Structure 1
């Protein structure tokens, strides 16, 4: 998988990084002109990164209503782990906003092919000496992938594997394997995860999502949107999913679906929701 390497520094002061997003300032202000994919949104020389192939619990989500979060124990642990990997210590917050850290920024490099639909640069994050010059095209193999923050977050069990079309199958297989290893070892959030639990995630309202259940963030976001736009119960949730896009392929069979509806069940007397496929088996088409 060939990606563009961009050198720069990770930024946190005055921002709200979480377990799968952080800000980055390229050394070369025109660095993203060299990226062939979707345009990256640059604000005052800084871009927002979304870590490729992972999804951490939400610390703030407000696309269809008031700002909400997933259980903060694991959301905050993921954010702390990511910033530690990137070289930050002594991180202080006011709410979710970073007010101090040592150092103020840390050097690093990213490997990217462009942005998502929100203009966030989708990237693999590296620290230390880059393997190639700034602006060069790099063939990313499994050994290089294993040095990235993305791989580290799955290895610690503090993020879910979440794959999109275009992420090379060999790299996807490695990320799926390391997530499965973390799950088997009971690391991070996995002992609390109920995404695929036979009994499902018991949902009594928005408070269940924000304070109790640990589930795949994409499923959390769809539930929040359903509650905000339809009503505070699971009634009609599969129908809501049917109209929400999320086109995907289920591996290894290669089964194509136009939404998450076929993968979601309402169980236990309509009080709980579960997914019938593991997160690492899903490959989404970027909307």
Structure 2
């Protein structure tokens, strides 16, 4: 899978990093113009927000809400430690006010941006495997050198796939995520995405249960409307997320095809997340 390699440094101050997002400053800001597909937004100095490809960490700040923070914070701490940060300080709104060191060297491999204008990327630390500003064929051995693979292997994030990621890389992330699940690592012992959970209040998903962040985000947006849980499938149908069930090849429009609500309050997904391939959008 060819991706553009950009060399630079990771930084934290003034940002709100979590287990799958962090800021990156390109050594050569012009490298951003070489990114194919949707160009991520970047500052004149080459600074741009990243979303790590193929993984999704529990939300620490989404729409003013969060998922159980011990898992979101654990993912963020592991990612930033892996990237080379020794310590950091945050304010009450999760914004970093100081870090040691201020930046760490690294590189990213990207094929484009997402709908939020972030670069969707694999993140590596230290010296890059090729020259910045060049296209690199990303295979499984190179994937294994990235933060994305590291986070999935520890069970601290959910594998979450979009069509931008090639099959061999998806299969590798699936393999290590399933191994972490089997070993009871990270968030997996508490995950109830497919076993189901009873929703009694917003606090159910912010404080009590561990579920797929994509499902959490849809629920937070839905609760803002003040409607009962029983109508959640109709809301999902209206959102028109487009996805493919990898095990069957079935193309679906709307998460209501893979999310059920029973007894007016109990929610579960009918497929494990690694069996779903989402269209970006």
TM class by smaller structure: over 0.9
Match of 1:203 in 2: 199
Instruction: Name the CA distance, whole Å, in 1 between partners of 2:187 and 2:44.
Output: 35
1:252 and 2:252 correspond: no
Normalised TM-score (structure 1): 0.95
Alpha-carbon distance between aligned partners in 2 of 1:14 and 1:156, rounded to the nearest angstrom: 28
TM superposition shift of 1:158: 0.6
Mapped pair 1:6 → 2:9: no
CA RMSD across the alignment: 1.0
Runs of 4+ in structure 1 over 6 Å off: none
Distance 1:165 1:263 in 2: 18
Q: 1:112 corresponds to which residue?
A: 110
Instruction: Please tell me whether the aligned partners of residues 152 and 176 of structure 2 are also in contact (alpha carbons under 8 angstroms).
Output: yes
Structure 2 Cα separation of the partners of residues 193 and 44 of structure 1: 41
Report what 2:96 is aligned to. Answer: 98
Q: 1:281 pairs with 271, 275, 281, which one?
A: 275
SS in structure 2 at match of 1:236: helix
Runs of at least 5 residues in structure 2 that lack an aligned partner in the other structure: none
Q: Which residue of 1 aligns with 2:42?
A: 42
Aligned counterpart, 1:139:
137
Structure 2 residue aligned with 1:59: 60
Map 1:256-271 to 2 at 5 A: 256-267=251-262, 269-271=263-265
d(CA) in 2 for partners of 1:254 and 1:44? Answer: 43
The alignment covers a number of residue pairs equal to 279
Contact 2:161/2:276 (<8 A) preserved: yes
Query: Which residues in structure 2 correspond to 1:16-35 (within 5 Å)?
Result: 16-35=16-35
Match of 2:230 in 1: 235
Q: Which runs of 5+ in 1 are unaligned?
A: none
Q: CA deviation at 1:229?
A: 2.1
Listed one character per residue, the Cα deviations across residues 74-128 of structure 1 (whole Å, up to 9, x for unaligned) are 0100110110110001222212111222111000000001100110000000012
Give the TM-score normalised by structure 2: 0.97
